[in-house]
Amino acid sequence: PSSTSSPAPSSTTSPAPSNTTSPAPSSITSPAQSSTSSPAPSSTTSPTPSSITSPAPSNTTSPAPSSTSSPAPSSTTSPAPSSTTSPAPSSTTSPAPSSTTSPAPSSTTSPAPSSTTSPAPSSTTSPAPSSTTSPAPSSTTSPAPSSTTSPAPSNTTSPTPSNTTSPTPSSITTPAPSSITSPAPSGTTK
């Protein structure tokens, strides 16, 4: 009957209600988002609609009370019509009264609420953050920096410096004449 809530009433929240936060919160794109329609939405025509005369009478509360949302929504025409008196009398209360809340009520927060940060939140710095200097940063001088003089720098005089007269100086007439540079000439660095 019209006043009887069919086994799937219209005002009841289904097992996956629209306001319930799914395990993946609403701000995160997850497999089950809040905007997803549950398997049995309220506008779906179910096998047991309210306008069909069914064996369940008009005043009788069906096993699924009117406040509970069931898989079969209110706009669906079901095998149990409104004007027929069913074997269950009008004053009888069914095992599931109208005030019963379904197992997943609309106000229940799922295990992973929308305010929960994931294990790697966006504000967390990774193990090697951008401000960290690497083991060899750009400002560090390498083991042989450019300002260090090498073991034989350009300003160092060799063992036979330019001011030293070689064993055969240029002013002495020797078998090696003055115009010939000695084995270690004065201008050469070793």
3-state SS assignment for residue 123 = coil
Identity at 62, one-letter amino acid code: S
DSSP 14-43: PSS-TTSPPSS-TTS--SS-TTSPPSS-TT
- Are the beta carbons of 46 and 40 closer than 8 angstroms? yes
Q: What are the sequence ranges of the domains in the chain?
A: 63-92
Q: What is this structure's pTM?
A: 0.08
- Each residue's pLDDT tens digit in the chain (190 positions)? 555 555 555 555 455 545 554 454 445 444 544 454 445 444 544 554 455 555 545 565 555 544 545 554 455 555 555 555 555 445 555 554 455 455 544 554 455 444 544 454 445 444 544 454 445 444 444 454 445 444 554 554 455 444 554 554 445 444 544 454 556 655 656 6
